[in-house]
Amino acid sequence: MNIEKNKVYRIKKITENYPLYMNYGLIEGNLIKIIDKISTGKTIYLEIIGFNRKLALSDELINNIILEDVKNTEFTDDNEK
């Protein structure tokens, strides 16, 4: 899935090593917002919205997360206002 900057996604499923992702707050059902992708786009900076946590992680790890696009109607990013 091609993730885009400033978009909000819901974590649908973690396909591998669930406890590790959970440790960092990446839990099924949580909303994440992609804040930035660094130059080559292989390291991603995101915010776990409900946990008030910011996280940097490499693309191999994000590949183990099945994300679903959250439509604007479902989630209003108040920070953008």
Partner 1 sequence: MIMKNSKNIEIYQGCQNCELTSTNVRIKNLKRTKKLTIALVGQPNSGKSTFFNSLSNYKVNTANYPGTTVGFNSTTIYVKDYQVEILDLPGLYSLNYSDLAEKITFEILTNSDKSFKIDGIIQVIETASLPHSLLLTMDLITLDIPIVIALNMFDEARIKGINVNIPKLQEIFNLPVIPTISIKGENTFLTVLKLIELIEKTRKNHSIDSRSKLSESNKDQQNYKLPDMTNQKLTYYNDEKINNLLYKIHFSENELPYIVKNYKEIWKKLMKDIFQSTDCHIENCKVIPACLMNIEKIAPNMISLANIRDELLKLKSNIITSISSFVFSLGEPKPTFDDLVDKYVLSKKSGYFILFGIFFIAFYLAYFTGNFTADKMEIIFGFFDNYISNFSENLGILKPLIDGIKDGIFGGIGIVIPYLIPFIFFMSLLEDSGYIPRMMYLVNDFLKPFGITARSVLGFVLGLGCNVSAIMSLRGAMNNNERILAGMVIPFITCSARTVVLMALVVGYLGALWGIFMYILAFTVAFTMLLIINKFLKFSMQSFMIHIPSYRFPSLKNILSKVWLRFKSFVYSAWPVLILGTITINYISYFQIDGYINSFLSFFTTKLLGLPDETGIPLIFGILAKEYALVMLFSAFGTQDIKSVMTNLQIFTFCVFMLLYTPCLSTIAVQTREIGLKYTIYSIILSFLSATLISFMLNKLIQIWKIL
Map residues 5-44 to x or -, x wherever contact with partner 1 holds by CB under 8 A: -------------xxx-xxxx-xxx-----xx-xxx-xx-
Residue 67 binding partner 1, by CB under 8 A: no
Q: Residue 72 Cβ, how far from partner 1 at the closest point, in Å?
A: 16
Which lies closer to partner 1 via its Cβ, residue 2 or residue 39? Answer: 39
Question: At CA 26, angle to CA 25 and CA 32, rounded to 5?
Answer: 105
